[in-house]
Amino acid sequence: MKTIYFDNNATTQVDPQVFEAMEPFFKDLYGNPSSMHHKGGEVAPYIREARRKLSSLLGCEPEEIVYTSCGTESDNTALWSAIRTQPDRKHLITSRVEHSAIVNNVTLLRRLGYRVTEVGVDRQGRLDMEEFKRALTPETALVSFHWANNETGVVFPVEEIAGMCHERGVVFHTDAVQAVGKIPMNLRESKISMLSLAGHKLHAPKGIGALYVRQGLKFLPFMVGGHQERNRRGGTENVPYIVGLGKAAELAEARLGEENSRVRALRDRLEEGLLKIPYSIVNGDRVNRLPNTTNISFEYIEGESILFHLSHFGICASSGSACTSGSLEPSHVLRAMGVPFTAAHGSIRLSLCTYNTDEEVDFTLGKFPPIVEKLRALSPFWKDGAPTDSALLTCDTDSCSVCS
């Protein structure tokens, strides 16, 4: 059975060119780059070149990149460095729709006595900028907002926010795990203090990430050990994976145009086709979002049931973040947006990449409607082609497409 993979916001296939670039470092080029002998010396230039390629994608200096193991480590490093370098500031600002790597750290910091402001979003997932402006104070140690939401693809105005933070002397971090490689970036022209990314979101392997740290920023390492990464992250360099991330960054930079044209067009055609199914709604801003992502709710049925039936045909999608999809609770992102309970439970995220084709979109559009029709026929909230009266009573916001 052919696999149709529409879950690229969860993880991506390792590009064959990335695997090819990595392979020698599992065989002949196995030296430790910190070693003084020739086996160490022969691999060090490859790390420098990989760093250059990643810095080109981000629009920053190679020396501003710190390699990590993943996006979560990068987020933790940024957050705890900002806290520890400013012990007199006890206030943090984040949003109500962040990734669990930020959400769970914020929960811990609250228990440690920090004051946290979680800025809300509107029905389209857009940040409440007025609430954010009111929240900024001289006591703020860190502002951390994602660049793009992992569930809806909604893009926050992070460069504008970074400028506002810079004017007030506040450190600004952005979790750009979903944005890197999908939208153009030029960090030299921005006031972003720190930026997190993960290789497996842009066709590099799992187990490699990076943190951009603006030159001159006060910084303390999260992983304490040797002198690696200019004393900013201890531990022997993961040479094969660093090389793989460098190659993936090079490919992503070359494919940015395709990502924002052909992939966007595929996503739009898939979305428009799915919206022909009755009682379906797009979750999130349809203008300011990633070019590859759509999040659609099919009201009065369970998203997990849709995924099960799609998987029978080889179609891979998601009901939200892969880091929280084991929970039966509705997505905290959709709930923060005010999506009604009956719609939030039936949400499906489809995230494309440059590997996807028109034929895959056509196949998916052919399979989706009968799946939804079958599941609604089994739903206690559905009868004779429409929601029941009891279904309408479950709506808890005025944004339901049936009630409004």
**299-337: b or e for each residue (b if 16 or more CB lie within 10 Å)?**
bbbbbebbbebbeebebbbbbbbebbeeeeebbbbbbbb
Residue 393 has pLDDT above 70, yes or no: no
The length of the chain, given as a count of residues = 404
Residue 394: predicted pLDDT: 53
Band (386; pLDDT cuts 50, 70, 90): confident
What 3 state SS string does the chain have? CCCEECECCCCCCCCHHHHHHHHHHHCCCCCCCCCCCHHHHCCHHHHHHHHHHHHHHHCCCHHHEEEECCHHHHHHHHHHHHHHCCCCCCEEEEECCCCHHHHHHHHHHHHCCCEEEEECECCCCCECHHHHHHHCCCCEEEEEEECECCCCCEECCHHHHHHHHHHCCCEEEEECCCCCCCCCCCHHHCCCCEEEEEHHHCCCCCCCEEEEECCCCCCCCCCCCCCHHHHCCCCCCCHHHHHHHHHHHHHHHHHHHHHHHHHHHHHHHHHHHHCCCCCEEECCCCCCECCCEEEEEECCCCHHHHHHHHHHCCEECECCCCCCCCCCCCCHHHHHCCCCHHHHCCEEEEECCCCCCHHHHHHHHHHHHHHHHHHHHHCCCEECCEECHHHHHCCCCCCCCCCC
The CATH 3.40.640.10 portion of the chain extends over 16-252
Residue 401 has pLDDT above 50, yes or no: no
Query: 395 vs 187, which has greater pLDDT?
Result: 187
> Rounded CA gap, 10 and 351, in Å?
8
Residue 320: predicted pLDDT: 64
Residue 381: predicted pLDDT: 79
Residues 120 and 333 sit within 8 Å (Cβ to Cβ):
no
Residue 403 has pLDDT above 60, yes or no: no
The highest-confidence range among 37-46, 56-65, 318-327, by mean pLDDT, is 56-65
pLDDT tens sequence across 196-215: 999 999 999 999 999 999 99
Residue 392: predicted pLDDT: 56
Which amino acid appears at position 321 of this protein?
S
Band (380; pLDDT cuts 50, 70, 90): confident
Residue 319: predicted pLDDT: 87
Residue 391: predicted pLDDT: 63
Of 248-257, 303-312, 384-393, 394-403, which gets the smallest average pLDDT?
394-403
Residue 356: predicted pLDDT: 98
Residue 161 has pLDDT above 60, yes or no: yes
Give catalytic residue positions: 323
The CATH 3.90.1150.10 portion of the chain extends over 256-371
**202-237: b or e for each residue (b if 16 or more CB lie within 10 Å)?**
bbbbebbbbbbbbeeeebebbbeeeebbeebbeeeb
Structure tokens belonging to residue 180: 């890197």
Residue 333 has pLDDT above 70, yes or no: yes
Residue 323: predicted pLDDT: 43
Of 157-161, 257-261, 333-337, 377-381, which gets the smallest average pLDDT?
377-381
> Rounded CA gap, 174 and 149, in Å?
11
Q: For all residues of the chain together, what is the average pLDDT?
A: 93
Class of domain 16-252: alpha beta
Q: Which residues are bridge partners to 116 per DSSP? A: 92
Rounded percentage of the chain residues whose pLDDT exceeds 70? 94
Residue 342 has pLDDT above 50, yes or no: yes
Residue 149 has pLDDT above 60, yes or no: yes
Which amino acid appears at position 257 of this protein?
G
Q: How many CA atoms lie within 13 A of 117 on its CB side?
A: 20
Band (144; pLDDT cuts 50, 70, 90): very high
Band (341; pLDDT cuts 50, 70, 90): confident
Selected from 3.40.50.720, 3.40.120.10, 3.90.1150.10, 3.40.640.10, the CATH number assigned to the domain covering 256-371 reads 3.90.1150.10
pLDDT tens sequence across 21-36: 999 999 999 999 989 8
Query: Please, is 20 exposed, middle or buried when counting C-beta atoms within 10 Å of its C-beta (0-12, 13-18, 19+)?
Result: exposed
For the residues 388-400, what does the mean pLDDT come to? 55
pTM (predicted TM-score): 0.93
